[in-house]
Amino acid sequence: MPGGVNSPVRAFKNIGGNPIFFEKASGAYLYDADGNEYIDYIGSWGPMIMGHSHPKIVDAIKRQAELGTSYGAPTGIESDVASLIKKCVPSIEKIRMVNSGTEATMSSIRLARGYTNRDKIIKFDGCYHGHVDSLLIKAGSGVLTFGLPDSPGIPKDLAKHTLSCAFNNKEEFLKVFESVKDDLAAVIVEPIAGNMGFVPGDIDFLKLLREVTTANGSILIFDEVMSGFRVSLGGAQEVFGIVPDLTALGKVIGGGLPVGAFGGKQEIMDQLAPLGPIYQAGTLSGNPLAMAAGSALLNLIINENPYKGLESKAASLLSEMQNIMDSAGIPFSSSQIGGMFGFFFSETLPKNIDDVSKTDDDIFIKFLNACIGNGIYFAPSKYEAGFISTKHTDLEIEKTLTIIKKIINKGI
């Protein structure tokens, strides 16, 4: 396997480390193949919002496995998941399940292009929308971590249809918009970005995207693969009160199994085959095992609505971290929404990818290595977000802070 991994960020190459191989997980904890225990602040990049190996989800998977793992045909459980999602995210009038977040954004883009009969896409620097050809232009996440903003292998003829501009910058967006508006199919954005570190969109910026796309007949796609069911039941669109045309989902909705979904206005979704001419398909789409896990997790979070609790837990972790860093004279800033958070080694919170790149790399790498060496599993890149689960109790937060205090007191 190239780099020893099946997804680049797992390699830890950028912090001078090696990939960690895990064997099991439970609640807030991960256990590696050498027997080390970690408090997990990645949560499989989002899905483990109720902790690892939740008994209800494990049971649901077991029960479904005995009934069959795939039929290549419709099942009632797909409709259950679709209804649960629709209930929480009202902008989704119709939905289609896929197998990953990448498929969800890829299919949303095709649908937007087919529906509008236009080619151009605007995205934002540092937002990551999966490894889709049209969207790997100035992308975030591993692409930033390894300094590969524009991957080789994407035809120039395709790349020229994607324009990328600065996140949270209204003036720059309007300038780019003016230059392509006649052929603009869609604007795609992470309304709460989690792939350039954790950088929420400004509400005014997001409102402008909504107004301008509506007036221009272009599709506004919210990529909520990460923020969906992570920041609140209704996602970032509920937090900001902005209604997109299409939404891409993934991560949480699969309960830890491979799932994605995209949905939105019925009029647009009805252009998909077999109702309309725009083609999209998948052998394992709506796979019953994945739907069983997703349905179990969605039911748990709908019952519990854990977002306020998650946010206040993250806030107390981060404000204590701030105190520790302040007394050591280390520049630090942080923020959180629901079960997502971020921290940066900088005095002020970054607003876009340029700000994030300027935050201190040297302290980040030393701090991260020390944390991981001491059983605190934070994301190994400043271009990734943090995630907290309902299984992170005061005990885990206290343990985390004790270790961080020790690391910082030793000198970094």
Ligand X SMILES: *Cc1c(COP(=O)(O)O)cnc(C)c1O
Active site (annotated) includes residue 115: no
Active site (annotated) includes residue 383: no
- The least CB distance from residue 190 to ligand X, in Å, is 5
81 versus 321: smaller Cβ distance to ligand X: 81
104 versus 233: smaller Cβ distance to ligand X: 104
Q: Using CA atoms of 349, 247, 203, 150 in order, give the dihedral in degrees to the nearest 10.
A: 50
96 versus 129: smaller Cβ distance to ligand X: 129
The CB density around residue 278, as the number of other CB atoms within 10 Å, is 18
- The least CB distance from residue 102 to ligand X, in Å, is 3
The amino acid at 215: A
Q: Which of residues 97-126 bind ligand X (CB under 6 A)?
A: 100-102, 105
Active site (annotated) includes residue 86: no
- The least CB distance from residue 395 to ligand X, in Å, is 29
- H/E/C letters for each residue in the chain? CHHHCCCHHHHCHHHCCCCCCEEEEEECEEEECCCCEEEECCHHHCCCCCCECCHHHHHHHHHHHHHCCCCCCCCHHHHHHHHHHHHHCCCCCEEEEECCHHHHHHHHHHHHHHHHCCCEEEEECCCCCCCCHHHCECCCCHHHHCCCCECCCCCHHHHCCEEEECCCCHHHHHHHHHHHHHHEEEEEECCEECCCCCEECCHHHHHHHHHHHHHHCCEEEEECCCCECCCECCHHHHHHCCCCCEEEECHHHHCCCCCEEEEECHHHHCCECCCCCECCCCCCCCCHHHHHHHHHHHHHHHHHCCHHHHHHHHHHHHHHHHHHHHHCCCCCEEEEECCEEEEECCCCCCCCHHHHHHCCHHHHHHHHHHHHHCCEECCCCCCCCEECCCCCCHHHHHHHHHHHHHHHHHCC
Binding residues for ligand X, how many (CB under 6 A)?
15
247 versus 400: smaller Cβ distance to ligand X: 247
| Residue (of 224, 151, 147, 166) closest to 381 by Cα position | 147
Q: Which residue lies nearest ligand X, judged by its C-beta?
A: 101
According to the binding rule CB under 6 A, does residue 286 interact with ligand X? no
- Of 27, 43, 130, 286, the one binding ligand X (CB under 6 A) is 130
Instruction: Spell out, one character per residue from 246 to 275, where the chain touches ligand X: x when CB under 6 A holds, - when not.
Output: ----x---------x---------------
Which of 29, 128, 307, 383 is catalytic? The answer is 128
- The least CB distance from residue 97 to ligand X, in Å, is 13
Q: Which of residues 180-239 bind ligand X (CB under 6 A)?
A: 190, 194-195, 223, 225-226
* Cβ neighbourhood burial of 274 (10 Å; 0-12, 13-18, 19+): exposed
- The least CB distance from residue 250 to ligand X, in Å, is 5
- The least CB distance from residue 400 to ligand X, in Å, is 24
Which of 125, 223, 245, 355 is catalytic? The answer is 223
107 versus 400: smaller Cβ distance to ligand X: 107
- The least CB distance from residue 227 to ligand X, in Å, is 7
129 versus 138: smaller Cβ distance to ligand X: 129
252 versus 317: smaller Cβ distance to ligand X: 252
Which of 120, 123, 181, 251 is catalytic? The answer is 251
Just list the catalytic residues: 128, 223, 251
Which chain residues interact with ligand X by CB under 6 A? 100-102, 105, 128-130, 190, 194-195, 223, 225-226, 250, 260
